[in-house]
Amino acid sequence: MNFNRIGVGVAFSPNLKANIYEAARLSLFMGSELMLIHVGKEDAKKTQIINGHLSEFEKQKLSYKIIFVNGRPVEAILNAIQENKINLMVLGALKQESFFKYYLGSIAREITRKAKCSVLLLINPSIKRVPCKHIVVNGLKDPKTEETIKSAFFIGKKLSASKITIVEEIAQEEINIKVDDDRSLRESTIIRERLRLREKKRVKKLIKSVPNEQLEGVGINSQPIFGQRGYSIGHYAQVVRADLLVMNAPSKVSFWDKLFPNDIEYILEDLPTDVLIIR
Amino acid sequence: MKKRQNISTALKSIPRNLFSGLVVSLIALPLSLGLAMACDAPPISGVIASIAGGMLVSVFGGSFVTISGPGKGLVGVILIAVSTLGLNATYAAIICSGILLLILGFLRLGKLSDYFPSSAIQGVLAAIGLIILGKQFHIMLANKIAKENTIEYLVAVPKTIITALNYSDTGLKYAALAGVISLLIMVFYSKIRNRYLQLVPAPMWIVILSLSYSYYYEFVLGLSNPISKKYMIPEIPNIQKIITDLPVPDFGLISSSAFWISVVALTLIASIESLLSIKAVDRLDPMKRRSNVNKDIKALGLSTVFSGFLGGLNVVAVIAPSSVNISNGGSNRFSNFSHAVFLTLFIVLFSTELERIPLSALMAILVYTGYKLASPEIIRRMFLIGKEQLIIFLVTLFVTLKVGLISGIVAGVFTTFIIHVFINKSFQLFFKNILKPNVLMYKENDENYFISVKHFSSFLNFRNLKNKLDVIPEKNSVVIDFSLCAFVDHTVMENISSYQALFNKKGGSIDVIGFDVFGADTLDPFALKNLIPISGLMKNNAGKRKKDFEALASNLKMKYTPKNNTATDHLTGFSYFITKQISHTYNLLSSNESNCCLFDISYSEGVSIAKENIRSTMMYIQTKKIIPQFTLTKEGYLERFYSLTGEKDIDIPGYENFSKRFYLNGKNPKKILELFDEKIIHFFENNEYYHVESDGAALLVFSKERVATVKEIEKLLTFGLYLTGLVDKK
């Protein structure tokens, strides 16, 4: 697990201060170096503003660096991530008017898809700290899941979260019996129960790989849910009012995935809460 | 062993089902004859459909107590098919629609009607009712006329009545009289509660009376029947003739569009009518079985193919005979089979006798059926649910009458969608979210299922919710949470309500929550609900919950105050609310005797941060004495407070299990240990988990961070009162 360098994009928007505060706080919690990436010409005035926002964190010994890059925003930021060996990129989401709905801007979306590092999407960056109490993490049957769960516990420890719920999504297709009448209903109920237990067992095994000291002081839950893979976990996080959702990175994003969104694309379209995508 | 037992119970049920089959055949016979005549098809074709259906569906079907036969819904379609295609080509269309139904069944698409707005379906059915009523009313009064369409037929009704009052021809006079008497029998039959009278269904009474009247004239008076020959049932062939004169389906028009429009309309209506019947009959089934709809659709398709080749009409699951079947003790498919056998016997033995029935009497049965489909009561009901439902209903009705059935349904779907877009002032809501898997289901604990629906829930995506509901055994408790949903339509509400009835019957329950922030125009439980952020709409909301609370209050002899109350100082002392901001309490249930009250509460988490508002249901009880401050929660909740207050879990010596399961903390561990004696600990151990807190003078009890359902409220009250009893005794 390594989040030595945390990156944050700096655009001079109304959210600037909140974004910087969130990223700086996170860097302090994780003991990481903060890289502030701005797409544009280097400018003393801009540096001054950023320094001003970070003055409070400097007292707490935050080490940070401001990087100015040029070019098309997406490529420039992606390059900066690679060049500076950033492990975690923090991106802010936008809020839809009138409804409590959050979505990613097009730049943030591109970066999320293409970045080679982990990405943290914040739905509601705030200057004052909102404690992260409940983390929801996916327990998909996938080679990446072990790493993701480990990361969730690692971060949970750093942010002193009190509860981590591991969610296994059981797809309808797995219960490959159609409910038509009483008998098929009984059969499908039994199969569902068996799947539930199987999934719980699998998750238990996964938790064993987490270092013991990270398990201390954290309530661990495992919750099998029935719904569409990749989508329902966000829905679940929203229902239980989780503070952070940790997910596997998608395997690959093809043209079809954009057209018929699945997995991460669903989440990007309608962010339920803060989302951390582990790569 | 079990199989043998099944066979023996099946054998024991044979006599009862045989009897029920007989009664069913008594109602099926006149109905089949009448419907076939209403279609301008030979009367026998309806009986053939009944026989084919009874024989085949009872063997291959997936339902238990439904009866199959020619449906009233098909009248509108077959009538047009016969007039445009001709009779023999109509048989070909019927065969094709049977094949189409079979395919639908195999593709598991039998539940077509689940995908249509229910008001539109009601509109189509009402239109069919008017088609039947409009045409047959004139025949009932012995005034056969030919008009272009149903509306003209309806307009001509007063003229027919005047004509009928001035008949000079005795034959016509008697025919009209037979029609009117039959109609009166249909109307008043259900009002007379006599067991023996009710044993024979009303349509059969009409047949019996007609036959005895005819015999009376022929054998007692030695006269010929005074009713005009024109208004008697024409030539029912005997069995030999039926077999030798099998019609040859004419597939010559198979390449024409009119042919396929008929096929599609037949299939659509057959599927919709069957599904509606099966759904309604399942709710009546005393043995609470779930029918396999797709299997039934396949069987209906197969029997339609057979029926078509034998010169019969479409076969569907029919509601009226099915309910007669249940009320006469039919318990399995044998009654459907025996009804077909009895019908065959009737035809073999008495087919020519049926010619003694006046046509006008038979048509009175249809007029009544048609009226039931399009009665003013349905329009009133639509209006009560909401004006928009009435619009959808009327548009579908008129387009169906003016243009045709398929156009009617399409117009209904389209109107519904436009109205939904208009109400929400958003096309995006639907367009963006229609393909999203918007329903989440998980088990909250070992019995409860929790279903959360996001974005919107309407006829467009009801299948998502339905798929989840279908896999839950009906004896479980289900909570459906719509609080993340911006819009819920009438179709969904109505379907949920029928699921609720089903679950209640089997010992489970479905509670719907999350509507208290919704606005609805009417208080009707089926009204569509939409979440529009306008404060004015918030006033007349929460109808259902308010009613629930009123019922609870009167049951428990408590006082109910629905109003919002912002005086919440007594709650802020609880450590749970340290990090939360209480907005107000509402739906207050209070009782003076026990110093306790229960309320819904709206609060937000965190300070100055736009976190979501939380609504929950809590119970507040003043204790008689001063008790130590404490917080007791399930292990899951614990760490929140742990990190905030820095306090430790108090372990009670000797009760390791309790200490493991519960997290207990407070400022004065010594006093708390005194309070938690064996009785109280046992009480906690033997009950569900609740979050219990004391602020020194009162207890606060709740279970979840969401609004509790009625069942949960009752449990919460019992728990809280018992706990207070224990605490006060100290």
Q: What domains are defined for chain A?
A: 1-130 (3.40.50.620), 131-244 (3.40.50.620)
Using 50, 70 and 90 to split pLDDT, how confident is the model at B51? very high
User: B610, A172: Cβ pair inside 8 Å?
Assistant: no
Smallest Cα distance from A22 to chain B, Å: 14
**Amino acid at site B80:** I
Q: According to the model, what pLDDT value does residue B338 have?
A: 92
B293 touches chain A (CB under 8 A): yes
> For chain A, how many helices (H) and strands (E)?
10, 12
Q: According to the model, what pLDDT value does residue B222 have?
A: 78
**Helical pair B334-350 and B14-38, crossing angle rounded to 10 deg:** 60
The complex's ipTM works out to 0.83
Using 50, 70 and 90 to split pLDDT, how confident is the model at B456? confident
CA distance A246 to A119: 10
Q: Which of A95, A162, A273 to mutate to test the interface with B (most CBs of B within 10 A)?
A: A162
User: B436, A182: Cβ pair inside 8 Å?
Assistant: no
DSSP letters of B86-105?
A: -HHHHHHHHHHHHHHHHHHH
Within 8 A of A225 by CB-CB distance, chain B residues are: 440-442
Q: According to the model, what pLDDT value does residue B103 have?
A: 92
User: B611, A238: Cβ pair inside 8 Å?
Assistant: no
B638 touches chain A (CB under 8 A): yes
Using 50, 70 and 90 to split pLDDT, how confident is the model at B292? confident
- The CATH number that domain B432-541 falls under is 3.30.750.24
User: A180, B294: Cβ pair inside 8 Å?
Assistant: yes
Q: According to the model, what pLDDT value does residue B454 have?
A: 84
B537 touches chain A (CB under 8 A): no
Q: According to the model, what pLDDT value does residue B648 have?
A: 64
- Average pLDDT per block of 10 residues along chain A, 279 residues long: 81 79 85 85 83 82 84 85 86 64 72 83 80 84 81 84 84 70 82 82 82 78 79 84 83 57 68 83
Taking Cα atoms as reference points, which of B434, B395, B389, B436 lies closest to residue B412? B395
CA distance B702 to B714: 12
Within 8 A of B648 by CB-CB distance, chain A residues are: none
- Tell whether the torsion through CA atoms of B238, B239, B241 and B246 is positive or negative: positive
Within 8 A of B612 by CB-CB distance, chain A residues are: 100, 241
Nearest to A232 among B292, B437, B612 (CB): B437
pLDDT at B589 over 70: yes
Nearest to A235 among B454, B468, B610 (CB): B454
pLDDT at B637 over 50: no
Of chain B, the percentage scoring pLDDT greater than 90 comes to 8
Nearest to B290 among A181, A232, A241 (CB): A181
Residues listed for chain A:
279
Q: According to the model, what pLDDT value does residue A259 have?
A: 53
Mean pLDDT to the nearest integer, B429-448: 80
pLDDT at B352 over 90: no
Q: According to the model, what pLDDT value does residue B640 have?
A: 46
Q: According to the model, what pLDDT value does residue B96 have?
A: 93
Mean pLDDT to the nearest integer, B604-608: 46
Structure tokens at B220: 């007692």
Q: Domain map of chain B by residue range? A: 2-380, 432-541, 551-729
Q: What is the DSSP letter of B115?
A: G
Q: Which of A138, A239, A273 to mutate to test the interface with B (most CBs of B within 10 A)?
A: A239
- List Cα–Cα distances, B475 to B331, B482, B513, B650, B711, in angstroms: 22, 22, 19, 39, 14
Q: According to the model, what pLDDT value does residue B722 have?
A: 83
pLDDT at B642 over 50: no
Q: According to the model, what pLDDT value does residue B415 have?
A: 92
Q: According to the model, what pLDDT value does residue B98 have?
A: 93
Of chain B, the percentage scoring pLDDT greater than 70 comes to 89
Q: According to the model, what pLDDT value does residue B1 have?
A: 44
Smallest Cα distance from A82 to chain B, Å: 34
Q: What is the pTM of this model?
A: 0.72
What is the number of CB-based contacts under 8 A between chain A and chain B? 107
Range with lowest mean pLDDT among A204-218, B367-381, B517-531, B667-681: B517-531
Q: According to the model, what pLDDT value does residue B608 have?
A: 31
Residues B249-268 pLDDT 10s: 888 888 888 899 889 989 98
User: A196, B443: Cβ pair inside 8 Å?
Assistant: yes
Mean pLDDT to the nearest integer, B689-711: 82
Using 50, 70 and 90 to split pLDDT, how confident is the model at B499? confident
pLDDT at B324 over 80: no
B215 vs B237, more confident: B215
What is the average pLDDT score of chain B?
80
CA-nearest residue of chain A to B705?
A240
- Tell whether the torsion through CA atoms of B6, B9, B12 and B16 is positive or negative: negative
User: B486, A99: Cβ pair inside 8 Å?
Assistant: yes
